[in-house]
Structure formats: C-alpha cells, structure tokens
Amino acid sequence: MAFRYLPPILATLAASLCLTLLFGFFTMLTLQTTLALVTPDPAGSEPSILASAACGLLTLALLAGAGYFVYSTIVAARDLVAQPVYFDGTVHLKHNGRGRGGGNWVVIGPPQSAPDPARPVAPSLAPTAGSEPLVREPAERGFVSGKGESFGAQLQGVQVESRADDAELVLPDLPGSGAWRRLVPGEVNLRVDKHMFEALMTGDDIQAVYSPHLQHVYYMRKRMEGSTVVLRNTILI
C-alpha cells in the first residue's frame, strides 16, 4: 500500500527549526539584558540582584528550550534518510495523557504467547456468514509502496527496538487499575489520533508503520478474521 511518509517529517522539521530560531532570538535578548543588569554603571545606581537573577534564570530556561528544539531538528533530519519501520504485533496497552503533552497512546509489542485473562478482549468484528470479506484501504497516494509480501517477510532485515527514553516510561498496567509498569523489551509506545485510538482494542493483531526516530505513526493495519482495516493517523506533529 502506498503512503506519504515525508509530510509529517517535513512538518516536524520545519516547526523545530522555526522554534529553534525563535528561542535562540529570545535567548540572545535576555542574555544581553542580564549582562547589562550585572554590569556596574559608574554614573548610576547599583544593579538589582533580584532582577539580574530573574533575567538569568529566564535566559537558562530559554536556552534549554532552544536545545530541546535543536535535538528535535536532528531527530527529524535523521528520519529523512531512514526507511519506515514495519512492525507486526499486538496492542498491549492503551493510555492517555503521558508524554509530549498528552494525547492518545498505544503500546504495541510482539504477539503474546497466551492471552492474558486480566486484559479486556477485543470484540469480534468478523463478517457475517455469506457476506464478502471487508477490506477498507485508502486510495494509493504517496511515495512508499508495499511489495505484496507477507507481513512477516516485510520485517526481514528490520531491527525494531525501544528508544532509551521510551524504555523508562511508566505506563498503567490496565485502564483504571492504578497499577503502573515500565515498557518491556520489544514494546514501542506510539502516539495516535483519536479515531485510531478508539478503533484499536487491547489484544488486536496489527501491523504498525512508523518512522524509526520520531516514531510518527503513518498507519496501522488491523487484521481480523477474514478482513483487514487500514487506520490512517492524521496527526502531523
């Protein structure tokens, strides 16, 4: 299936560059103001320590923000030359509001050997007897096209691993349970839009396609008995 993989990366790269320049500009202004405040004026009064300290702290905060967006720019630039990751597995967990300012998140990982009775089971969406199998795929529009291989074959030569920051992420074990756990090796925490979040259930058999560094989701292919549904992610950044 063809899909466009450059627009989200370019949007993130452009936003990061603009914010880097903006934060850099304000950092220079506050740095000059701080230096002016701490420089003694022979013809004037003593500089205010409180005002100098406040301006210095603001400069450090703006510098940290500029550094963060420089890092985001580098990560987005690395995705420009990388191929999307095709990950076959299951949805291990759904959660809200953790990381990158909230949002809807799903944790995907390798297929589990046995179903966990404590986890909710996805309802059956198989077509009724005598009906045609349901296949909903958007029209081809983009730069990357599938080769018609099986899902397992598409993973050949692709190394999938959790990022270091994701590995430290603490997640709810079950919705509303109050128990928390960390990502286990092989799991990936991905942000999706609301319609995709609501369509996915814990335990769903899926194929996720996302960028390897930003981990931006392009689409998820939800496999069911006799049918396949493609869920496109509409979030750009």
- Is 160 a domain residue? yes
Strand ranges, E, within the chain: 85-96, 104-109, 135-136, 170-172, 180-182, 188-192, 205-210, 217-224, 227-232
How far apart CA 156 and CA 150 sit, in angstroms, is 10
Task: Verify that 76 and 89 share a domain, yes or no.
Answer: no
Query: Residue 1: inside a domain, yes or no?
Result: no
> Is 170 part of any domain?
yes
Tokens of 218: 């392009």
Q: State whether the Cα torsion 233-197-206-138 is positive or negative.
A: negative
Specify the number of domains making up the chain.
2
Assigned domain for 237 exists = no
Residues 103 and 126 in one domain: yes
CA distance 176 to 167: 22
Domain boundary among 25, 54, 80: 80
Residue 152 is predicted with a pLDDT of 40
Whether residue 56 is contained in a domain is answered as yes
State the Cα–Cα distance between residues 1 and 147, nearest whole angstrom.
8
Range of the domain at 128: 85-232
| 123 assigned to some structural domain | yes
**Of the listed ranges 127-136, 209-218, 226-235, the one predicted with least confidence:** 127-136
- For the stretch 56-67, pLDDT in tens is 999 999 999 999
Question: Model pTM?
Answer: 0.63
For residue range 103-147, what is the model confidence (pLDDT) as tens digits?
Answer: 889 999 998 755 444 444 444 444 444 544 444 444 333 344 444
Instruction: Please answer whether residues 108 and 91 qualify as being in contact, where contact means their C-beta atoms are separated by less than 8 angstroms.
Output: yes
- 123 and 11 within one domain: no
How much is the mean pLDDT over the chain?
A: 75
Please answer whether residues 183 and 166 qualify as being in contact, where contact means their C-beta atoms are separated by less than 8 angstroms: yes
